[in-house]
Each structure stands twice: as structure tokens, then as C-alpha cells.
Amino acid sequence: MKILVVDDDRDLRETLRDLLEDEGHVVHLAADGAEALALLERQPAIGAIVLDLAMPVMDGFELYDRLRADPRYARVKKIIVTSQQARGPAGAPLLRKPIRIDRLLALIHAP
């Protein structure tokens, strides 16, 4: 599966890329929501997005709302990761940082 990891923490992005690639996934990286949208235009076959909430330029809340409003991304899994105590968007799977890779993989592979 092609997965997009969107997080402003470069080390976390690269660590998640390495772990997910070890599981056989193709992983793309973006540092914020605006970069993620641009990448999605070039990589339309993304199957899952792992999305941080607190980012500069365009945060995860705005990106999530834009993805939900666009029918092209209706079938893309959107998994929220955050270190904040705030709630994520309603109905979105949410993982707290530090991320347990087994939980992330379970959400990615869930039907």
C-alpha cells in the first residue's frame, strides 16, 4: 500500500517511513498539509495517510477537512497522530505519540 506520512517532525517522518517500508509499504513524506496536498496531486494512489494535527503552514485539522470534502480521497484511510491532549476530528482513528507501530499497522490494515 502507498502511505503518506504528514508530520513537521523530520525524525518522526523518517522513522515511520523506515518502519512502514520494512513492512512492505511504499511511503511518501510531507512536512505540512500544503505539501501533502501537492503530493497527493502527483501520487493519486495513496491508500492511507498518517497525519499529525499540529503543523505549520496548514495544520492537520484543515488538511483532514479538505480531504473529507474531496470525493477523490473518500476511500483513503486517514489516521491521526498527535502529542496533544486535544481530540482529533470526529470519527477519525487517533493515536497518541509516541506511536506504537503495532497499533498503527493495525489501523492501516483494518478493513
Q: What structural domains does the chain harbor?
A: 2-109 (3.40.50.2300)
Residue 85 has pLDDT above 70, yes or no: no
pLDDT in tens, 9-63: 999 999 999 999 999 999 999 999 999 999 999 987 899 999 998 888 888 889 9
Alpha-carbon gap, residue 22 to 54, rounded angstroms: 27
Residues of the chain with pLDDT > 70: what percent?
94
Task: Read off the C-alpha cell for 58.
Answer: 496548514
Indicate the pLDDT class of residue 71, thresholds 50, 70 and 90.
very high
Task: Read off the C-alpha cell for 20.
Answer: 512502514
pTM above 0.95, yes or no: no
DSSP 15-60: HHHHHHHHTT-EEEEESSHHHHHHHHHH-TT--EEEEES--SSS-H
